[in-house]
Amino acid sequence: NAGVTQTPKFQVLKTGQSMTLQCAQDMNHNSMYWYRQDPGMGLRLIYYSASEGTTDKGEVPNGYNVSRLNKREFSLRLESAAPSQTSVYFCASSHGTSGNNEQFFGPGTRLTVL
């Protein structure tokens, strides 16, 4: 039982390049989330998916797109990376049901945009 996994662990991009961050969970969770964490700060929600087939914007969605590929996988895409997107990106998942919404986090992806 791996929990929440993310790839890659590290990535360096040049301004304008694109990339996709991958996330998968094996806990049969309904809800999945993408957060970013900037130095010295807490996490901020980028996008989330309450269930397979649905996605919604979080607090800081600009510059990102997401795909809920199936129940297990939720990807985050940067179409044209900018230095302001240098951050650590975390994926999380939860059952998503009222009364049982504990979130579990992956190990993170450290992204640097030059």
Question: Toward other proteins, which CB reaches closer, 19 or 88?
Answer: 88
d(CA 6, CA 23): 5
Q: Are 106 and 5 in contact (CB under 8 A)?
A: yes
CB of 64 to other proteins, least distance (A): 16
Question: Toward other proteins, which CB reaches closer, 85 or 93?
Answer: 93
CB of 93 to other proteins, least distance (A): 12
CB of 108 to other proteins, least distance (A): 6
Q: Which residues bind other proteins (CB under 8 A)?
A: 31, 33, 41-45, 48, 50, 58, 88, 90, 92, 96, 98-99, 101-105, 107-108, 110
* 72-to-7, 42, 59, 65, 67 alpha-carbon distances in Å: 14, 26, 23, 18, 11
Sheet (strand 4-7) strand order: 4-7, 19-25, 74-78, 64-68
Question: Toward other proteins, which CB reaches closer, 19 or 50?
Answer: 50
